[in-house]
């Protein structure tokens, strides 16, 4: 089971991998698609009932909700890491509990600010500032010039989740501490909310409306994971994603998708530019899509 796709070429490339795997192994794979928010609760149900799909492609830190119910795929991950230049640090953070791999981080979606250079310059800036105070000043100037920016601030699971986590982390806040205890109630969280209030006042109108188990066949699950991440398949899939997806194995830095269009180059390093913390803690501007078993 996986969440519905946004890039048709990527979807076509993924289904080609599935078909190729089935033909090569004789193991039939049925792909079920769900809405963006649905795989996580359905994976939780499958993990706790022992019924449902063998494999889920969910978002963020889903497998960490039920780590004891996931399949140990350390052998597959060790094989792939050794063959393809190692996993990026963020993948190990999201993929492991202690020394055990509980899921396969397939890809990173890099979130970078998209803007018009003319509008930035007209607002008195040469580039988007790297500090919070100057960024707030830029946003205020953009609104004054009737070219206001904005970020999703409603029930937009992907974009809103990504940037509001960054907002919390940029003020030193965390969802949980190093001992995995809830730490959201803090002065840092309060500071991030105050900043968010000021930032929201600079947004274009309407931003709050921007919305948007027990494994029966463990060997088949592992075989498909390994097959997908092999160069013959994964390189084609990356190319099909046209830069929307970023790899988690270092060897794929060399994929031509990152140089075919120079505007994509910044996304090549999305996984490596993300701060490495445990799931639920700091990672600026990227979110991890994990493959886990239900």
Q: If we measure between CA atoms, which residue out of 73, 87, 78, 24 comes closest to residue 271? A: 87
* Residue with the larger pLDDT of the pair 154 and 170: 170
- What crossing angle do the helices spanning 218-229 and 74-83 adopt, rounded to 10°? 20
Q: How far is CA 107 from the centre of its chain?
A: 7
Contact criterion met (CB below 8 Å) for 100 and 72: yes
Tell me how far apart the alpha carbons of residues 37 and 60 are, in angstroms, rounded to a whole number. Answer: 11
Tell me how far apart the alpha carbons of residues 39 and 233 are, in angstroms, rounded to a whole number. Answer: 24
Structure tokens at 220: 């088949």
pLDDT for the residue numbered 248: 93
Q: Mind listing the domains of the chain with CATH numbers?
A: 2-111+213-292 (3.40.190.10), 117-209 (3.40.190.10)
Q: If we measure between CA atoms, which residue out of 170, 199, 174, 198 comes closest to residue 186? A: 174
pLDDT over 90 (residue 276): no
Question: Could you give the count of Cα atoms lying within 13 Å of 258 in the half-sphere of its Cβ?
Answer: 16
Query: CA-CA-CA-CA torsion for 132, 137, 139, 145, nearest 10 degrees?
Result: -170
Q: Compute how many other C-beta atoms are within 10 angstroms of the C-beta atom of residue 182.
A: 10
pLDDT for the residue numbered 39: 87
pLDDT for the residue numbered 181: 86
> If you average pLDDT over residues 259-288, what whole number do you get?
68
Contact criterion met (CB below 8 Å) for 118 and 267: no
pLDDT for the residue numbered 294: 30
> If you average pLDDT over residues 202-219, what whole number do you get?
76
**Locate tokens 């592992």: which residue?**
222
* Residue with the larger pLDDT of the pair 169 and 276: 169
pLDDT over 90 (residue 120): yes
Tell me how far apart the alpha carbons of residues 132 and 135 are, in angstroms, rounded to a whole number. Answer: 5
The fraction of the chain above a pLDDT of 70, given in percent, is 90
> If you average pLDDT over residues 210-216, what whole number do you get?
62
Tell me how far apart the alpha carbons of residues 84 and 238 are, in angstroms, rounded to a whole number. Answer: 15
pLDDT over 60 (residue 283): no
Strand order in 2-3's β-sheet? 33-34, 2-3, 56-59, 286-292, 103-110
N residues, the chain: 294
> If you average pLDDT over residues 10-34, what whole number do you get?
92
Least confident of 94-103, 160-169, 213-222: 213-222
Query: Model's pTM, two decimal places?
Result: 0.73
**What residues are paired with 2 via a beta bridge?**
33, 57
């Amino acid at each position: 089971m996986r969440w519905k796709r946004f890039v048709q070429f990527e979807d076509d490339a993924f289904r080609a991998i599935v078909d190729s795997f089935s033909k090569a192994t004789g193991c039939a794979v049925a792909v079920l698609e769900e809405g963006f928010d649905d795989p996580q609760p359905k994976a939780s149900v499958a993990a706790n009932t022992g019924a449902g799909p063998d494999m889920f492609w969910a978002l963020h830190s889903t497998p960490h909700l039920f780590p004891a119910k996931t399949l140990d795929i350390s052998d597959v991950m060790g094989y792939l890491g050794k063959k393809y230049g190692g996993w990026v640090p963020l993948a190990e953070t999201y993929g492991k509990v202690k020394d055990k791999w509980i899921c396969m981080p397939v890809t990173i979606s890099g979130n970078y600010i998209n803007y018009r250079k003319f509008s930035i310059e007209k607002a008195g800036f040469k580039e988007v500032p790297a500090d919070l105070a100057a960024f707030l000043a830029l946003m205020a100037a953009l609104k004054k010039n009737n070219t206001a920016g904005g970020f999703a601030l409603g029930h937009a699971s992907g974009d809103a989740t990504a940037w509001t986590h960054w907002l919390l982390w940029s003020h030193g806040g965390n969802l949980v501490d190093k001992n995995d205890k809830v730490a959201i109630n803090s002065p840092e969280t309060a500071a991030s909310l105050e900043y968010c209030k000021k930032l929201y006042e600079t947004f274009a109108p309407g931003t709050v409306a921007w919305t948007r188990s027990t494994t029966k066949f463990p060997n088949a699950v592992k075989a498909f994971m390994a097959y997908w991440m092999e160069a013959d398949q994964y390189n084609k899939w990356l190319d099909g994603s046209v830069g929307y997806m970023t790899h988690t194995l270092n060897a794929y830095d060399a994929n031509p998708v990152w140089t075919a269009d120079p505007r994509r180059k910044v996304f090549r390093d999305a996984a490596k530019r993300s701060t490495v913390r445990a799931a639920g803690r700091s990672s600026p501007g990227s979110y991890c899509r994990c493959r886990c078993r239900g």
